[in-house]
Amino acid sequence: MSKKKSPQTDENSGSWAAPEGSWASSAANRKSMLGNRNRDTSPELALRRLVHAAGLRYRVAAKPLAKMRRTADMVFRPTRIAVFIDGCYWHGCPDHFVQPKTNPEYWENKIGGNIRRDRETDQRLTDEGWLVLRFWEHQPAEECAAIVEDAVRTRRQALGTGRRRRA
């Protein structure tokens, strides 16, 4: 019985080759990147847990604007607040981001594009009357939760959208 070769294995040399259109520089790199979560990360869960415990309700991984192809980590629709928890690597944290040595041109363009997209998202939401709150993944969840709670309560008062209580 012959062993099937992975589609990422070069038939001639037996070495790994990236699938067509892939950015991965190695099989290990590809596996690592495929394992990265785009929602429900530890920093997100910690923040959501604290905000929920404070009695605030929100949408998770939702589009703030229907025609926008971007999702916020937490969305408070009545008060128009969008919360983003940005990963230090993917969003170019000034304190923690380190430029990769492998394939640096690709990563410079990728991370730079993410930063530009973040700024464009912020501007579009602000223009539509939204408050955008961005936090780095390394910021303490308690600090972020306090900021979110204060913003929601302040905007509720300003907009007159306090929570209705059921009898």
Q: In this structure, what CATH number is given to the domain that contains residue 143?
A: 3.40.960.10
pLDDT at 6: 46
Is 62 found in the same domain as 101? yes
Is 78 found in the same domain as 47? yes
The verdict on residue 4 lying in a domain is no
Domains held by the chain: number? 2
Is 66 found in the same domain as 148? yes
Banded pLDDT at 8 (limits 50, 70, 90):
low
Is 92 found in the same domain as 28? no
CA max distance for the chain: 74
Is 49 found in the same domain as 23? no
Is 113 found in the same domain as 52? yes
Helix (H) or strand (E) holding 7: none
12 has pLDDT over 70: no
Is 43 found in the same domain as 28? no
* 32: containing domain: 9-36
Is 103 found in the same domain as 28? no
Distances (CA, A) of 73 to 28, 53, 90, 121, 143: 28, 17, 15, 13, 17
Residue-wise pLDDT for 90-121, tens only, equals 889 999 888 888 888 988 999 999 999 999 99
pLDDT at 120: 98
pLDDT at 2: 46
Is 47 found in the same domain as 24? no
Is 17 found in the same domain as 67? no
166 has pLDDT over 50: no
The verdict on residue 167 lying in a domain is no
Residue-wise pLDDT for 140-156, tens only, equals 999 999 999 999 999 99
4 has pLDDT over 90: no
